[in-house]
Amino acid sequence: MEYSRIYAKFVSELKYEDLNEAIIEKAKMHFLDVLGNILGAHEMPWSQMVIRIVKQMQGTSQSIVLGEKGKYPMLMAALANGTMAHGIDADDSGARPSWAHPGACIIPAALAAAEAENVSGKELITALVAGYEVSCRVDSAVYPGLRNRGFHATGVVGAIGAVAAAGKILGLSEDELVNAFGLAGTQAAGLDEWLTTGDMSKRLHAGKAAMNGVLAALLAREGYTGPSSVFEGKYGLLTAHAETYDLDRLTEGLGEDYKLLKCKFKPYACCHELCSPIRMALELQEEHGIKIEDIEKIRIGLNHITAENQLKVAETPLHAQNHPAVAVAIALVEGQVFMKEFFDCYEDPMVVELGQKAEVYTDPVIDEVFPTKIGTRLEIFTKDGTRFHLFEEDKPPIPNSFIKEKFTEFASMTLPSDKVLRIIEQVDTLEKLETISSLSSNFS
């Protein structure tokens, strides 16, 4: 059986009643987290550029763009919300081994389709789970071969998760879903060259993945066909995009081992692998009263993929969010970090000077267990010869209470406090909503 058929059967047959309480609660937290990320990115220049284009498009009023009045065609809403969801780099990461940011693609696609179809909260939750399960497995199958060939996993894998979620909501049959996966796969794209240049293209990858997923589902519903061998074929997604891949990972545990439960949240608006060195640097600084002017050298030991990001002086915010030396320097100079510091402080002369004192390297102990575990070794050397050291084998989990605090901080940048609280309450009881429209009305 072709893998697109296996996925189509899983998605079409998945029911809300199949999901246990842990999966449902995790899905709601990821939904809330992405909604917050969208609102937090609303005023960013790349977000506003996409929103202006969306507003120029004419079409049926179907779905909201968070932070804006009115409704837009679902394709345009998915594009705008997806771009914003990835617009500040605070969005979730997939289950290991993986590299993509699934929520920024899946949730905007699902939300756009859910509003157009006026589905219930239970239907939306089920579609989100379907999207995460497919996305995480494809992501794991091509990791790290996709990255080694220069592709951005979020743009490539995100389209597959988005079409699974959108297709579920749009009521596609098993055969239609097979075509939808093929159509999403042939659109899957996104280059990692932004790591070098620090440009805006990374933000767009999630938006296009969400949009492409919705488009693929709509076309398939009309009878448009796509390659059923899109995953394993001679010229399929895996062979075209990845130097190496593992077909077994496409289906292992499907329907039993829910990958959503292992997806990770971010405490800071930056690359997930930089969150630990940032937190560890702040812990050492607070515990030992380390002053910036006393620091002689910083050593940051990471896995070999993250250690490739060797830039020490950022030219753009995206550089600051993805290069360890810069991110740790910002955290130490500011004494705190969440989001705005990455956008406002990377050109600070003290940050520039401290970043140049940092050495980023591949730690063999950490790399041996990567990507099963994401470890960090941080050393700060002061001019008097003192060495401060922390080692972490893996990242600690983030509690739901933090996700609600994070959402509140991001959402409050765009919405009044009464609407922020109402959204949290409605997401907490999302399964009780008869239609998603009662939630959507709070986002403008």
Is 82 within 8 Å of 119 (Cβ atoms)? no
The percent of residues above 70 in pLDDT, for the chain, comes to: 100
- Asked if residue 313 belongs to a domain, the reply is yes
- Asked if residue 397 belongs to a domain, the reply is no
What is d(CA 244, CA 247) in angstroms, rounded to the nearest whole number? 10
Looking at the predicted structure, is the pLDDT value of residue 300 above 90?
Answer: yes
> Which letter does DSSP use for residue 89 in this model?
S
If phi over 0 gives left and psi between -120 and 50 gives alpha, with beta otherwise, what is residue 363? beta
- Asked if residue 181 belongs to a domain, the reply is yes
Looking at the predicted structure, is the pLDDT value of residue 98 above 90?
Answer: no
Put the strands of the sheet holding 376-382 in their side by side order: 358-362, 295-302, 376-382, 387-392
Query: Could you tell me how far CA 444 lies from the centroid of its own chain?
Result: 23
* Same domain, residue pair 242 and 305: no
What is d(CA 331, CA 329) in angstroms, rounded to the nearest whole number? 5
Phi, psi torsion values for 297, nearest 5 degrees: -160, 150
Among 79, 62, 80, 59, residue whose Cα is nearest residue 71: 62
Among 176, 211, 214, residue whose Cα is nearest residue 190: 211
Residue 371: pLDDT band (50, 70, 90) is: confident
Residue 55: pLDDT band (50, 70, 90) is: very high
- Which pTM value belongs to this model? 0.97
* Same domain, residue pair 182 and 331: no
* Same domain, residue pair 170 and 34: yes
Is 285 within 8 Å of 335 (Cβ atoms)? yes
pLDDT of residue 115: 96
Residue 99: pLDDT band (50, 70, 90) is: confident
- In whole angstroms, how far apart are CA 363 and each of 75, 305, 306, 377? 44, 11, 11, 8
- Asked if residue 253 belongs to a domain, the reply is yes
CA atoms within 13 A on the CB side of 402: 10
* Same domain, residue pair 52 and 114: yes
- Asked if residue 94 belongs to a domain, the reply is yes
Supply the CATH number for residue 304's domain: 3.30.1330.120
* Same domain, residue pair 260 and 276: no
pLDDT of residue 396: 87
Q: Tens digit of pLDDT for each residue in 326-369?
A: 999 999 999 999 999 999 999 999 999 999 999 999 999 999 99
- Asked if residue 388 belongs to a domain, the reply is yes
- Is the link from the previous residue into 97 a cis peptide, with omega within 30 of 0? yes
Q: Tens digit of pLDDT for each residue in 305-322?
A: 999 999 999 999 999 999
Considering the chain, what is the average pLDDT of its residues? 97
Supply the CATH number for residue 212's domain: 1.10.4100.10
For 335, the domain range is 272-392
* Same domain, residue pair 213 and 161: yes
- Asked if residue 402 belongs to a domain, the reply is no
- Asked if residue 400 belongs to a domain, the reply is no
* Same domain, residue pair 171 and 242: yes
- Give how many domains the chain has, as a whole number: 2
Q: Tens digit of pLDDT for each residue in 181-199?
A: 999 999 999 999 999 999 9
Q: Tens digit of pLDDT for each residue in 426-438?
A: 999 999 999 999 9
Looking at the predicted structure, is the pLDDT value of residue 28 above 90?
Answer: yes
pLDDT of residue 44: 98
Residue 47: pLDDT band (50, 70, 90) is: very high
Is 316 within 8 Å of 199 (Cβ atoms)? yes
pLDDT of residue 372: 86
Q: How many helices (H) and strands (E) does the chain have?
A: 21, 4
